[in-house]
């Protein structure tokens, strides 16, 4: 079984050259080569440094997780050069480190001091820091009171708004001239119908009026009133 990390490192990636220009393709190949060379140099330097005895709990080539195990370890400070190879062989059967995952071309027995360490591309872009001196006086003072700013055309907005209202009203009247005329005509027709209905009701009431009955009713009321007045006078005389 091949380590997936090594397989990803050494496996050539297909590039669709028909969609990219030659310059972009060469640039990507160069960046990929620098990244692979950097990762390979870091793996080699990690194998030649100190390794703790509990390294078997982690996969062999997870560099980010092994970096904090190999720093300032007093148990494995003497394991350098050929001692590292013997340590790996002695612990390979205990399940700590699987030798089949190690690269065959890694220089385990010797330390190559001429390995070039290239910085990872596009990892950090310095940003300038904007520092301000706290001693600078940035206080904003109030304007002088003796300087009076003259107000010119103070009611200009009011006048323009009034003119605009008149202009819009004229436009509206011109636009709605016939519609409003129809509304007025319907209003007058409605009033005329109500007036005609009242006249018809008064004519019916006049036709139903009986003059003889009206006169007899009035005479009856006058007679009743005269009788009440006579009774009142008689009652006052008795007192």
DSSP 193: H
Dist. CA 225–CA 222, nearest whole Å: 5
- pTM for this prediction: 0.29
Residues 6+ apart with CB under 8 A from 46: 63, 66, 67, 70
Confidence of residue 166 (pLDDT cuts 50, 70, 90): very high
pLDDT, greater one: 91 or 214: 214
66 and 58 Cβ atoms separated by less than 8 Å: yes
pLDDT tops 80 at residue 167: yes
Q: What's the rounded mean pLDDT across residues 209-229? A: 91
pLDDT for residue 142: 79
Q: What's the rounded mean pLDDT across residues 24-31? A: 79
Dist. CA 55–CA 98, nearest whole Å: 11
DSSP labels, 127-171: -------TTS--PPPPPPSS-PPPP-STTHHHHHHHHHHHHHHHH
56 and 95 Cβ atoms separated by less than 8 Å: yes
pLDDT for residue 128: 81
């Amino acid at each position: 079984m091949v380590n997936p990390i090594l397989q990803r490192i050494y496996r050539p990636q297909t590039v669709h050259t028909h969609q990219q220009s030659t310059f972009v393709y060469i640039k990507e190949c160069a960046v990929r080569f620098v990244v692979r060379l950097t990762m390979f140099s870091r793996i080699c330097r990690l194998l030649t440094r100190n390794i703790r005895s509990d390294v078997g709990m982690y996969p062999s080539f997870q560099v980010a997780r092994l970096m904090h195990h190999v720093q300032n370890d007093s148990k494995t400070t003497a394991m350098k050069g050929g001692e590292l190879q013997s340590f790996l062989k002695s612990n390979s059967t205990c399940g700590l480190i699987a030798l089949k995952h190690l690269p065959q071309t890694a220089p385990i027995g010797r330390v190559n001091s001429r390995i070039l360490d290239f910085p990872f591309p596009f990892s950090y872009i310095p940003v300038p820091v904007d520092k301000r001196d706290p001693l600078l006086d940035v206080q904003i003072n109030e304007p002088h009171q003796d300087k009076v700013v003259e107000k010119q055309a103070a009611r200009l907005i009011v006048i323009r708004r009034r003119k605009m209202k008149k202009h819009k009203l004229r436009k509206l009247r011109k636009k709605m001239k016939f519609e409003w005329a129809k509304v007025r005509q319907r209003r007058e027709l409605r009033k005329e119908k109500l007036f005609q209905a009242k006249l018809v009701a008064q004519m019916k009431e006049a036709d139903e009026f009986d003059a003889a009955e009206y006169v007899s009713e009035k005479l009856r009321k006058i007679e009743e009133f005269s009788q009440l007045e006579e009774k009142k006078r008689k009652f006052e005389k008795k007192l």
